[in-house]
Amino acid sequence: MSTASIRIDPEAVVAPIDRRIFGSFVEHLGRCVYDGIYEPGHPQADENGFRKDVTALVKELGATTIRYPGGNFVSGYRWEDGVGPRESRPVRRDLAWHALETNQIGLNEFASWLQEIGSELMLAVNLGTRGILEALDLLEYANHPSGTALSDLRAAHGYPEPWDIRMWCLGNEMDGPWQTGYMTADDYGKLAARTAQAMKAAQKDLELVVCGSSGSSMPTFGEWERTVLEHAYDYVDFVSCHAYYQEFDGDLDSFLASALDMRYFIETVVTTADAVGHRRKTDKKIMLSFDEWNIWYLKEHQESDEVNETWPIAPRQLEDVYSVADAVVFGSLLMTLLEHHDRVRSASLAQLVNVIAPIMTEPGGDAWRQTTFFPFSVTSRLAQGRVLKPRVEAGTVTSKKYGEASAVDAVATDGDEGSAVFLVNRSREAVDVTIDVSGVGRAAVAEAVTLWDDDVYAKNTIDDQERVGLKPLDARLDGGTLRVRLEPVSWSAIALR
């Protein structure tokens, strides 16, 4: 059995926790909205058609912000289609996912649902097929109190109070040739700058997210961010990052080391943004919004016929079923976002229900938790106060794709109500870990859980919805030393009080 030692230093502060790091994402894609969160004919539908069992799971998940309505979908979206009397709303073709959009759910219904679950709305504007005027119209409709044409229209639609949306995305993945209306970095940067300037003229306290690269593998990665920010730096607050991971060809070790790629992505974007800021001689720092991240079986999706020449309504698309190994990597990615929380101030797990999601549903039937549900819900619940970067001494695991990775990684948080330590064991053997927590001055273990299984590919399915779940973790606090045994390929969390 291997060993590792960790020291929690209360002075090694990364940043105070911004709760928006625990955000998620809802796109009009597949069964995320229709037959997901919204199913009027379901036995557990509320008076507005939203599934109460799904709402309860979303609350348990702890998603603090929800990015909406896309994603690729937004680049062809007309927001006006989703407001007003439902019987008058048009059915449109969604070119992004080759499906029909009924527009039965739009801004007002979705924002009302978010109020019920206690999450903040992060709204995306269409800069693929639309532009500045449409973005300003949407801003007026959503946020202006009253007395203008569009704010009064919102009131006439039954929503007299403004939604007060603070965080806005300026389009989505505009570097991607799959995106309707995609552009060069120069063209997009100019449009984003003009749109941002106009939106802040209308409401100066908005926080605006400019599109970064769709992934670190894009041929323009780095140069895209530089060019866009040369135009938009003065008007925006965040640059977006998107990253998805999966296991390829049975290479579990490389998959378990995926967080190394996420670190490279974050550090490259930070360096690029800061270089632009330095040239502009400004103290302003651009933050990162990692507003799409997850495990996604993208290769299998691309090889399937999920998107074809038919035009279905709410088809089954991207309904990945996640394993223990997926959840362990997922947990390590969330830890990586926390490790870089000084610059990654917002993040959105993509997506929320059915579509590469922690929550699955069956039409007319059950809703259940995927394996990835557990690291997110526990971390969102236990993390508070400020993020601390522990010192970790452990062996390494060799991966073909990313080289040497620490067998054990950790991140910690510390606040008025207690401290928490989050750990991942990437190795194929158990590791005995000693953690020096004397600096945070906690006297007892309040909670200790782990996610692992003898079968790293075990999953929760519709027929076996509780096959995988959290297990008790034997964590013993002796003075200022915490002792714990991490099982092979596992993610764990310990709360101290």
- Give strand pairing partners of 92: 101
Predicted local distance difference test score (pLDDT) of residue 48 = 97
Tokens describing residue 242: 């998107």
Look at strands 344-350 and 287-295 and give their pairing: parallel
Predicted local distance difference test score (pLDDT) of residue 150 = 98
Q: Strand runs (DSSP E) across 359-489, as ranges?
A: 359-361, 367-369, 386-388, 391-393, 396-399, 403-406, 408-415, 418-425, 431-436, 445-451, 471-472, 475-478, 481-486
120 catalytically annotated: no
0.85 exceeded by pTM: yes
- Return the closest-CA partner of residue 204 out of 139, 152, 151: 139
CA 192 to CA 231: how far, in whole Å? Answer: 8
CA 195 to CA 68: how far, in whole Å? Answer: 18
**Strand, coil or helix: 31:** coil
- Backbone phi and psi for residue 482, each to the nearest 5 degrees, phi listed first: -105, 130
Burial 256-287 (b: 16+ CB within 10 A, else e): bbbbbbbeebbebbbebbeebbeeeeeeeebb
Predicted local distance difference test score (pLDDT) of residue 90 = 98
What lies within 8 Å, CB to CB, of 410 at 6+ separation is: 6, 335, 390, 392, 421, 422, 423, 424, 435
Predicted local distance difference test score (pLDDT) of residue 143 = 98
Predicted local distance difference test score (pLDDT) of residue 401 = 96
- Return the closest-CA partner of residue 357 out of 25, 23, 21, 19: 25
**Strand, coil or helix: 74:** helix
Residue 113 contacts residue 50 (beta carbons within 8 Å) = yes
- Backbone phi and psi for residue 7, each to the nearest 5 degrees, phi listed first: -125, 125
- Residues (pLDDT < 70) of the chain are none
292 catalytically annotated: yes
Tokens describing residue 417: 């109500």
Residue 452 contacts residue 468 (beta carbons within 8 Å) = no
The H or E element that residue 55 is part of is helix 52-61
Predicted local distance difference test score (pLDDT) of residue 106 = 98
Active-site residue identified among 120, 292, 339, 447 = 292
Predicted local distance difference test score (pLDDT) of residue 73 = 98
- Cβ-based burial of 28 (10 A; exposed 0-12, middle 13-18, buried ≥19): buried
CA 5 to CA 10: how far, in whole Å? Answer: 16
Active-site residue identified among 134, 173, 207, 247 = 173
